[in-house]
Amino acid sequence: MRMKTFLFVSSVALLGLAGCDQGVADPAPAGTLGTARQALGGSLALSVDTTGCNTNVAINGAIGQSFKVPGAMTLDHLDVFITPELYYATSYNLEVYDGEGTGGAKLATSAIVDMNSRSSGQAASWYSFAFASGPTLAPSHAYTFRLVRLSAYSGGFSSCKDVYADGIEYWLGTTASGSSDVSFRVYQTIPGAVLGDAPCNSHVQLRSWTGDYLHRPDSPQGVTTWSTGIGNVWTVECPASGVIELRSWKDDYLHRPDSPQGVTTWSTGTGNVWTVEPQGLGNVMLRSWKGDYLNRPDAPQGVTTASAGSGNQWAVEIVP
């Protein structure tokens, strides 16, 4: 894997004023406003930096950029540098198209990213647009992403003066602008990864939405959540393609028993096997043999299983 970094050190023409509302936008989707999401998960494959660029050009309805990747890869996520709108909350998603421009087949659509206004403390930053199932990209082949405004107002993007040889900016998402490029980063999934970025036989911690970790206490059997300790560390084992087992420091396994709900630990059995469902940005959901998911409930401590909810997502942290 080669990394390309493109830096620009000259002046950039002002293309617009961030926050201008040109065109009719779709209503903003319901949801909780997120914080700035830095690049998480995957391996950096391509980068067009913000150095010397105008980082507050209006996104308006959409903005696009074509690109080519240096080698065959599976797309994990794309980062775009965004300056939030000064007074209004905004929402975006990102689409990836085959070929130069947005006339080709749509290959993927990211999860929605919500952000608050700058006056509310939201920072200009790299924002990550993750794909539940990223497409496979071929080297030296053109692809185009389009950042789409979903809210009534838009923030700004980083526009550079023709610093990237393998692609061009698409003003409003559709109009080619051969003299400009968008600041962006492309991340690929890590080959051999089976749980977030973790390969088989690696050691991991699973961080819940509340900030604590899946934990095997020093007891004959059981599992809970805890902030620190050796019980937070699990070994990823791969008994078959597409599934994993998590072995605790006590040498038993995370286990879904044959009951209406719940999780414990056990030495052997079908209940030890979990199917990984990637959620992007290093997050996963673990589906049990019963069809429900490992879940961190809204309680001071504990873990169970549930069919749906934010408690089903876990952030994978690799332990050296």
Query: What are the domain boundaries of the chain?
Result: 4-188, 193-319
Q: What is the pLDDT of residue 35?
A: 37
Share of the chain above pLDDT 90, in %: 73
How many CB atoms sit inside 10 A of residue 8's CB? Answer: 21
When the candidates are 4.10.640.10, 3.20.20.70, 2.80.10.50, 3.40.630.10, the CATH number that belongs to 193-319 is 2.80.10.50
Residue with tokens 């961190």: 296
Q: Using one digit for the tens of pLDDT, what is the confidence trace for 48-68?
A: 999 999 999 999 999 999 999
Q: What is the pLDDT of residue 206?
A: 97
More confident residue, 1 or 198: 198
Q: What is the pLDDT of residue 282?
A: 76
Q: Using one digit for the tens of pLDDT, what is the confidence trace for 145-165?
A: 999 999 999 999 999 999 999
Q: What is the pLDDT of residue 41?
A: 62
What's the one-letter identity of residue 20?
C
More confident residue, 279 or 285: 285
Q: Does the predicted model carry a pTM greater than 0.85?
A: no
CATH 2.60.120.820 fits 4-188, yes or no: yes
Distance CA 174, CA 316 (A): 37
Distance of CA 99 to the CA centre of its chain: 23
Distance CA 98, CA 144 (A): 7
Distance CA 295, CA 312 (A): 4
pLDDT higher than threshold 70 for residue 234 = yes
Confidence of residue 19 (pLDDT cuts 50, 70, 90): very low
Q: Which residues are paired to 109 by β-bridges?
A: 95
Confidence of residue 10 (pLDDT cuts 50, 70, 90): very low
